[in-house]
A and B are shown apart, each in its own frame.
Chain A
């Protein structure tokens, strides 16, 4: 019983928290992949940027990060739309690899600007350590984690409503299915592209802020999430937002559970290699079923 509680408190819940963060980030990756047809290497930096906007707003206002989140989402979206206009749009009709390269450059440009403006030292989003709440005697969950999970659920629900109930959301899915047919159907491509950036950047900002809320603020945090997010998108099937959410949760859980002492008393996997788990899952998936669990597009 104690062992089970320990498992839930120290492995399962952190896994769900991390998984929710990956899931939110991976939705943007998969939508960009499906609709703009390229792997956006700058997505991690979009997250980092959102976090620093939030941190800055928190220095000048007394509000909780969740209250500030919409404002920092808006700022992130504005920057990302600007980047699209200047750096990605010229390549719409070019081979995708040009945009991938441009995004690779943007990744380093955005990060270096963040490092220049805010410096590289660690910052905390919220000061101090919060004591976990005890539920049912031994189930410990920190209020932070509850906030993150609840907010992630709300956001996932919002994405779901957008994609399944609104005209523009359905058009996004349609374009992710087949951009050529979407054009023949009269769906205005640029409008969908813009919406994709808005959705992707907002969710990236939220995911980054949740991670910073759970841990701390640093300039490499987005890049560290890039690989798990790609892995989640590929696991779920490229172009499939629901797949990305599932993929994100799976990868977050597997990462955390990989260091649980399943056999004997030692962690199954040296925690130093946790970051390699996502990569391993991705490679296995590419070998076994490149279309992903949800039959996404294969390039």
Chain B
């Protein structure tokens, strides 16, 4: 009984984190899948959202900027707004460059945010991070608090999914695909490519910021390690590639599947003796990387490949 209840709670937490990752993959899918923007700064935008929400909702403390004690809904909204603004600034500089440059620039931005979080101790409490973040529904009894939070996450994922699906089917979405497939033609047709790119970039980052806010509220704690490249940026990429980029169902599926694999493998390695456990944790990263390479080479479409209007691409 005890044990099955523990498993029940574990599944809830698995689904909650899976849902948060699904937000990240959906955000990335708008950028990469539909528009072809190679953003490897996910961790940075995730961290902005997390810190904004954390600072706005925590009770007063001398350790960091805060004490606003705002309701979490406002925390979530603010995190999206701030992330969007910063993404807009980043986009202004980087989006007109070729994909490789965007990758370099965004990975740099992730690192810069990490520096700011570490150094601006007055606002972020530096490496020690922000704690005591209120969690929605925490006043409810277990497991209802956990279930309600999960419900909130899942509802958010569904809403984001429906919004993106609607957007993709709209003329806006068709222009996006046209730009990705054949930019010169889209340009020749009088489409403002820069504006569409910017919109996709900002909206995607906004969703990443929201995912960050959810994580902060869920874990009740956030520190600069949240900007860690492996678990935030890299894992999200692998999730999207595995699930199937340019397909929203694939993005969500990839998030849940890969998070389950990632999380379950942690249970296995944590059973090992300490020294071994630390080392095998790296093997997990290696295997995830290998999975990415295999997907790229053998199944570039992912589990649920993109539905394309035309069966084949025209030759270059």
Chain B 89-124 interface 0/1 with A at a Cβ cutoff of 8 Å (1 = within): 000011001111101110111011001001100000
Selected interface stretch from B161-169, B207-215, B281-289: B281-289
Assess A272 versus B282: contact at CB under 8 Å? Given A100-B103, A105-B293, A112-B289: no
Interface size range on B against A: 35 or more
Contacts of A91 in B (CB 8 A): 296-297
Q: Which of B115, B234, B292 contacts A272 (CB 8 A)?
A: B115
Known interface pairs A102-B292, A112-B283, A275-B115; 9 further A-B residue pairs with C-beta atoms within 8 A, sorted by A's residue number: A38-B100, A41-B103, A101-B296, A105-B292, A108-B230, A109-B285, A109-B290, A227-B104, A290-B101
Assess A286 versus B93: contact at CB under 8 Å? Given A113-B282, A230-B104, A275-B111: yes
Contacts of B174 in A (CB 8 A): none
Assess A102 versus B234: contact at CB under 8 Å? Given A41-B103, A112-B282, A299-B98: no
Complex CA gap A287/B115 in Å reads 22
- Asked if residues B234 and A104 are in contact (CB atoms below 8 Å), the reply is yes
Assess A283 versus B93: contact at CB under 8 Å? Given A112-B283, A119-B279, A276-B115: yes
Contacts of B284 in A (CB 8 A): 112
**Chain A binding surface SS class:** helix
Contacts of A33 in B (CB 8 A): 100
- Asked if residues B99 and A282 are in contact (CB atoms below 8 Å), the reply is no
Interface size range on A against B: 35 or more
The chain A residue sitting closest to B40, CB to CB, is A104
A261-299 interface (Cβ within 8 A of B): 270, 272-273, 275-276, 279, 282-283, 286-287, 290, 299
Shortest CB-to-CB span from A174 to chain B, Å, is 22
Contacts of B292 in A (CB 8 A): 101-102, 105
Contacts of B296 in A (CB 8 A): 91, 98, 101-102, 105
Would you mind naming 7 contact pairs between A and B with Cβ atoms under 8 Å apart? A91-B296, A98-B300, A102-B293, A112-B283, A283-B108, A286-B93, A290-B97
Assess A39 versus B285: contact at CB under 8 Å? Given A102-B293, A108-B234, A272-B119: no
Query: Using a CB–CB distance below 8 Å, which chain B residues touch chain A?
Result: 36, 38, 40, 93-94, 97-101, 103-105, 107-109, 111-112, 115, 118-119, 229-230, 234, 237, 241, 278-280, 282-286, 288-290, 292-293, 296-297, 300
Q: Is A166 an interface residue (CB 8 A)?
A: no
A77-128 interface (Cβ within 8 A of B): 87, 90-91, 96-98, 100-102, 104-106, 108-109, 111-113, 115-116, 119-120
